[in-house]
């Protein structure tokens, strides 16, 4: 099983300067506790011109700097950014909250503007499903590595966790799409999506509750979420 390199871990969590400042693993240094305010997720504001009978959002996945502690330099992280009236709404890590109403439909355009090389590239291993202890391999015709891009790339798909979703908008593992417009074997979208997008509709026909949206891509869900693609709704 592939693991993160020490360099990639530092790059993601504290930036490349961590080892230089003496705050790297094994240095004996300790970070002060409770010195940073807990970040508050911004709230995205829906638009209605494209879909008058629904709340419409555009969420773009970007790689941006993020500082995890006041005494550490900024590292790189992934997050969702909502299109807002006065510019993108987001943090640089995670993403904005969407406040919705029961039985009020929501349409979300998810856009992949991440790099085509993964932030944690050395940990990308599309054969992990073959190496789970105690789990027999798939029979012939099961998942195969050719379901994924042959060269380094970043495939993503967003799943609304806990939502009563139509199957074509559920964000299944093989529904992915890449920054350069490649699609997984089960990719689906409402009309009007560009090649690096998927447009999903949610009916919200369920009790009011807190849900969360997150990456759900085959083979790299763990890495995409660790990089920052997970938010509440």
Q: List pLDDT tens digits, range 80-120.
A: 999 998 899 999 899 999 999 999 999 999 999 999 999 99
What are the residue ranges spanned by the domains of the chain?
Answer: 41-66+78-129+149-233
Q: What confidence score (pLDDT) does residue 144 get? A: 56
Which CATH number is 41-66+78-129+149-233 given? 2.60.40.420
Q: State the number of CA atoms in the 13 A half-sphere of 211 facing the CB.
A: 21
Structure tokens at 200: 């999903």
Nearest to 55 by CA among 95, 19, 117, 99: 99
**pLDDT greater than 70 at residue 192:** yes
Structure tokens at 180: 């350069």
**pLDDT greater than 80 at residue 14:** no
Q: What confidence score (pLDDT) does residue 169 get? A: 97
What mean pLDDT is predicted for residues 119-131? 82
């Amino acid at each position: 099983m592939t693991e993160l390199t020490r360099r990639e871990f530092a790059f993601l969590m504290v930036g490349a300067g961590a080892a230089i400042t003496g705050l790297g693993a094994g240095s004996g240094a300790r970070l002060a506790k409770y010195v940073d305010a807990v970040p508050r997720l911004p709230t995205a504001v829906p638009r209605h011109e494209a879909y008058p009978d629904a709340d419409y959002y555009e969420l773009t996945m970007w790689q941006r700097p993020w500082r995890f502690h006041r005494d550490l330099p900024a590292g790189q992280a992934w997050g969702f950014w909502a299109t807002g009236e006065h510019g993108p709404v987001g943090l640089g890590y995670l993403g904005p909250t969407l406040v919705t109403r029961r039985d009020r439909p929501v349409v979300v355009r998810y856009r992949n503007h991440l790099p085509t090389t993964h932030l944690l590239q050395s940990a990308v291993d599309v054969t992990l499903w073959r190496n789970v202890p105690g789990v027999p391999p798939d029979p012939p015709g099961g998942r195969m590595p050719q379901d994924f891009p042959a060269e380094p790339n970043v495939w993503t798909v967003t799943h609304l966790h806990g939502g009563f979703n139509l199957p074509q908008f559920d964000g299944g593992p093989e529904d992915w799409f890449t920054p350069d417009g490649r699609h997984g074997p089960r990719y689906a979208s409402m009309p009007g999506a560009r090649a690096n997008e998927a447009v999903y509709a949610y009916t919200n026909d369920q009790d009011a509750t807190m849900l969360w949206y997150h990456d759900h891509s085959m083979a790299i869900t763990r890495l995409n979420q660790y990089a920052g693609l997970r938010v509440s709704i």
